[in-house]
Amino acid sequence: MNNKIGDKFWYDDIMVLVNKERLLNFIPNKNNSIEENLNSSVRFIIYLSLFLICYSKNFNYVILIILAFITTYIAYTEIYNKVIENFNAVSTVAPTPDNPTGNVLQSDYQNVDRKLDNLLKDHALQNKIKKSLDHKLYRDESDIFDSMHSQRTFYTMPVTTIPNKQKDFAEFLYKMPTTCKEGNGEKCINNLYTPHRQSILDNSSDIITKTIIPSTLNKTWKQKLSRAKAGERAIEKALPRQNN
């Protein structure tokens, strides 16, 4: 069977089974598509069942037609899932003698499913790349850091996928997070200075006086603070009179 485009599967178009141009196509052929061969199998079972019913006068052979529909549908579903799985499979990139660093070549753009983006982070692939670069290379045993082979001019490029991640790179450069200036209330609240909780719980006028209160605090908070200070002053003035 091949994967060429032909007739629709009977599940998508049931009328394809009774198409006048396809009535004689009841034997699968390797030159037909998968859908056409499955349709041909169903036609063959239908013809066979009708012949057996007419010959034996037994309508129980109708079950063969039902089984044919069920079997071909299951087979088509499994084949379709395998095709989708292979289509979505992540293509692997291995260093070759012509491309030891595994970079994207002009000829690779025919493979639009190249999605390997962790080439620089994969230590196993990096070791393969290093071995490919060292292939047929005269090495000095004392050069353990590979500083005398001029290999720094050959390296894996940051872009290893097709298509490249241009959108992610642009967002990394220019995308700004939400700010208070844009009218984001949550960011504005986070930018406000919040006094320490312990300073609020302590009813000490000295600590409250030394707390930095920005001008962005609302009038209600300022009024409460002034009332608290006035109450403390009244208590301080009343205490000496009670002692006397």
Comparing CA positions, the residue from 4, 75, 8 lying closest to residue 33 is 4
| Cβ count within 10 A of residue 68 | 20
Domain-wise residue ranges, the chain: 14-87, 106-174, 193-243
DSSP 148: S
* pLDDT, average across residues 38-65: 90
Q: Give 104-125 pLDDT, tens digit per residue.
A: 777 777 665 555 555 556 667 6
d(CA 19, CA 197): 82
- Is pTM beyond 0.85? Reply is no
Q: Is 222:216 a contact under the CB 8 Å cutoff? A: no
Comparing CA positions, the residue from 204, 85, 19 lying closest to residue 10 is 19
| Run of H or E residues at 235 | helix 219-243
Beta bridge partners of 2: 33
**Confidence band for 90, pLDDT divided at 50, 70 and 90:** very low
